Structure 1
Amino acid sequence: MTGAPASAAGGSGATPAHRGGKLGAAAVNQAGLWNIANILTMVRLLLVPGFVMLLLHDGGYDPVWRSFAWAAFAVAMITDVFDGHLARTYNLVTDFGKIADPIADKAIMGAALICLSSLGDLPWWITGVILFRELGITLMRFWVIRHSVIPASRGGKVKTLAQGIAVGMYVLALTGPLATLRFWVMMAAVVLTVVTGLDYVRQAVVLRRRGLAAERAAAMEAVAMAADVEGATGGQCATDEVHGAAEGVVEPVVEPAAESLGEQLGEPVGERVAGGRGTTEAER
C-alpha cells in the first residue's frame, strides 16, 4: 500500500502513504478481543492437548509421532514470540492477553516437561525446578501487579529460548552425541532458570517496597490536605463565633447604661437625642 502511486490510491498520495503505518495499526487495534495477537495465543492453548496426544501416541516411543509432536511444540514456541511482538508493536494489549499469554506459555512447557519425565526421558528434579520457578514467578507477578509490572528481562528471554531448544531436543528421539548435547543444553537452561528466577524475586521485592512507600506518601499527603481544609473551615467558624459573642455582650450592656444615664439627667436619652437632631436640622 505504501508503494502504490497516487493515482492508484485515488487521491494526492499524502494520506494513502500512511495506510500501511498508523492507520493500519489503528485498524488492527479496533479488532478488540479478536485481534491477531490473541488469536495466536488461543492457537497455542489449543496446541497443548494436541501436542500431548502426539507425544504419548503408541506409548511415546515412536520416532515418527514424536517428530509430529516436536512440530506442534515448535509452532507453539514460534507463536509465543510473534503474539507478544504484535501486541507491543500494534498496541493490541488486552486484559485477556495479559492472562492467557502466560497461561499458554506455562501450559505448553509444563505439559512437555511432565510428559518427558513420565516417559523416563527427563529427570523429575529438572521438571520440578523449572515448574517451581515458572509458577512462582507467575504468582509473584500477581503479588506486585497492584504496584507495577515486572518487565521481561533479557536474561528471561534467553532462558525461554534455552528451555525451548532443550525441551525440543528431548521431544525428538535423539541418540548418540546429540543425546549427550541435549543434556548439557538442558543444564544450561536450568541454570538460567534459577538465576533469572532469583533476579525476578529481587525486582518484585524492590517494586513492592517502592509501591508501598508511594502509597504511604500519598496517604500522608491526603491527610495533610484534609487537615488544611478542616483548619481553614474551623478558623472561619471561630471568627463568626467571636463576632456573635461580641454583639451579644455589647447590646445588653449598652442599653441599661443608656437608660441609667437618662434617668440621672431627668429625661430619656432617646428624647435628648431626638431633640438634638431636630435642632441641627433647623440650624441647617
Structure 2
Amino acid sequence: MTGGPGSPAAARPAQPGAAKPAVPSVWNLANQLTMLRLALVPVFVVLLLADGGHNPKWRAVAWAAFAIAMITDLFDGEIARRQGLVTDFGKIADPIADKAIMGAALIGLSVLGDLPWWITAVILARELGITLMRFWVIRYSVIPASRGGKLKTLTQGVAVGMYVLPLTGWLATGRAVLIGLAVVLTVVSGADYVRQAVRLRREGLARAEEAKAK
C-alpha cells in the first residue's frame, strides 16, 4: 500500500501550488437522495392519511413512497463514502431525514389506530435520546453505528412498512412479531449506545486531565 502514514510520499511536504483535494458539491448524488427522502416525508403523510387513512389503494401508494425513502437511506451514505462525497450538509441532513420518515410513519399509524402509541413512544424516545447523546460526546469522539443499530434500523423499516400495508391473516401476525423484535432491538442497541457514550466521555475527560497536567 502506498501513501500511508509512514511512506515517503506521506513524509514529503506538500509542494507549493499543489492541487488541493476537490471539495464535493452539496448537490452531489448522495445529498440529492437524502433531499429526496426529506421531500417524500410530507408526500407520504398525505398518502397515508388520504380518504380517512384506511383506503387500501392509498395505503399501497403510501407504502411505495415509504419504500422509496427507505431505499434511498440504504444508498446515500454508501455512495457518499465510496465516491468521496461526504459533506457537512449530508452529515446533518441524513439522520434528520431518517428520523423524519420513520417518525412520520410511526405517528401516522398510531393516529390511525393501527400501531399502539407505546411502541411509537419507545422508538421515538430512543431515537431522540441517542441523537442528544451523540451531541453530548461529540467533542470527545463520534459514536460509530453498531451492527445492532443497523439491524434495528432494518427491522424497524420492514416492520413499519408492513404496518403501512393493509395486511390480514398470517402476514398481520408476522408484522406484529417483527415490530416486537424491532422494539427489543431498539432498546438493546440504545443501551449499547449509552454505554459507549459514557465510556467515550470518561476517556475524553481523562485525556483532557492528562493534557492539563503536562
The normalised TM-score by structure 1 is 0.67
The aligned residue for residue 58 of structure 2 is: 65
Paired residue for 1:202, among 189, 192, 195? Answer: 195
The aligned residue for residue 115 of structure 2 is: 122
1:46 lines up with 2:39 in the alignment: yes
The aligned residue for residue 205 of structure 2 is: 212
For residue 166 of structure 2, give the secondary structure of its aligned residue in structure 1.
Answer: coil
Aligned 8 A contact 2:134 2:142 in 1: yes
- CA shift digits 1:12-64 (9 cap, x unpaired): xxxxxxxxxxxxxxxxx644211111111111000000000000000000111
The aligned residue for residue 177 of structure 1 is: 170
For residue 166 of structure 1, give the secondary structure of its aligned residue in structure 2.
Answer: helix
Whole-Å separation in 2 of the counterparts to 1:126 and 1:182? 13
Whole-Å separation in 2 of the counterparts to 1:90 and 1:208? 32
Letter in 2 for 1:156: G
Q: How does 1:70-85 map to 2 (within 5 A)?
A: 70-85=63-78
CA RMSD of aligned residues (A): 0.9
1:136 lines up with 2:129 in the alignment: yes
Whole-Å separation in 2 of the counterparts to 1:182 and 1:126? 13
Whole-Å separation in 2 of the counterparts to 1:155 and 1:88? 21
The aligned residue for residue 190 of structure 1 is: 183
- CA shift digits 1:101-151 (9 cap, x unpaired): 110000000000000000000000000000000110011011111110000
For residue 127 of structure 1, give the secondary structure of its aligned residue in structure 2.
Answer: helix
1:35 lines up with 2:7 in the alignment: no
Question: Whose Rg is larger?
Answer: 1
Bigger fraction of residues in helix: 1
For residue 151 of structure 1, give the secondary structure of its aligned residue in structure 2.
Answer: coil
The normalised TM-score by structure 2 is 0.88
The aligned residue for residue 107 of structure 1 is: 100
- What's the CA shift for 1:91? 2.1
Which gives a bigger RCO, structure 1 or 2 (Cα 8 Å, sep 6+)?
A: 2
Structure 1, unaligned runs of 5 or more: 1-28, 222-284
Whole-Å separation in 2 of the counterparts to 1:155 and 1:112? 22
Whole-Å separation in 2 of the counterparts to 1:30 and 1:39? 16
For residue 32 of structure 1, give the secondary structure of its aligned residue in structure 2.
Answer: coil
Whole-Å separation in 1 of the counterparts to 2:66 and 2:83? 26
Structure 2, unaligned runs of 5 or more: 1-21
- Runs of 4+ in structure 1 off by over 2 angstroms are none
Identity value in percent: 73
Whole-Å separation in 2 of the counterparts to 1:81 and 1:217? 41
The aligned residue for residue 85 of structure 2 is: 92
